[in-house]
Amino acid sequence: MTGLGWMYGRDLPLLSLTFARDLTARQLLERMGADPATLAVRSQDDLREEFEGPDGLDTCPVSAGGYGDWAWAWEHASGRCTEDAGLIGSVSEGTAAVVLHHANGRVEFWYAEGGRLVSAFDSSSGLRPADRFGADPSRFDSELRSHGANPDTGDYGPLGCLGLFLRLGEGLGIGLPHDDLVSRPLLGARLCSG
């Protein structure tokens, strides 16, 4: 399955994805602050083994690949993509970037262009205009409505917030091939603390 369609209806306890248009996976990881000494192609098992800390906790492993015109990066055990507000600005310098984050029932969608956050929504605050942030918070209103959401009232519509945010991303052309995470070696690294 292509795009993000394989994620619909799945129980995804932690989803921390950053996408950047017209960058390679390596360029995306570099912009995210990956430790250059750890950048290498690895299997997912090798990535987990190498970056599991002595306390059993992961030390910010990230894997990356490409889909169409977009590079993607999946943070396996962290959420720097939303914890560090400057990260999406760095990633989007000279291009566009999207962050999709889902953890503990909270879902976030951030979109930036040219180093500037354009529009972002967070399910913990809502979808109404006053709850969104960025230089143009209403940038995706027509897309939200086309998927059955009502941004004026904050209603996410039939897709729910995660499904809605995944659809917004797919509309921009982003995707993450399921097989990349299951069976193919990928570029991986450790994210430096931000």
Radius of gyration of the chain (CA): 16
Q: How far is CA 65 from CA 18, 38, 185, 193, in A?
A: 11, 16, 10, 22
pLDDT means per 10 residues, the chain with 194 residues, are 70 80 97 93 83 62 93 82 82 96 88 96 90 94 96 93 92 88 84 69
Contact 72, 24 (CB under 8 A): no
Residue 18 tokens read as 């950053």
Residue 142 tokens read as 């027509």
Contact 20, 97 (CB under 8 A): yes
pLDDT at 56: 46
Pairing of strands 14-21, 70-75: antiparallel
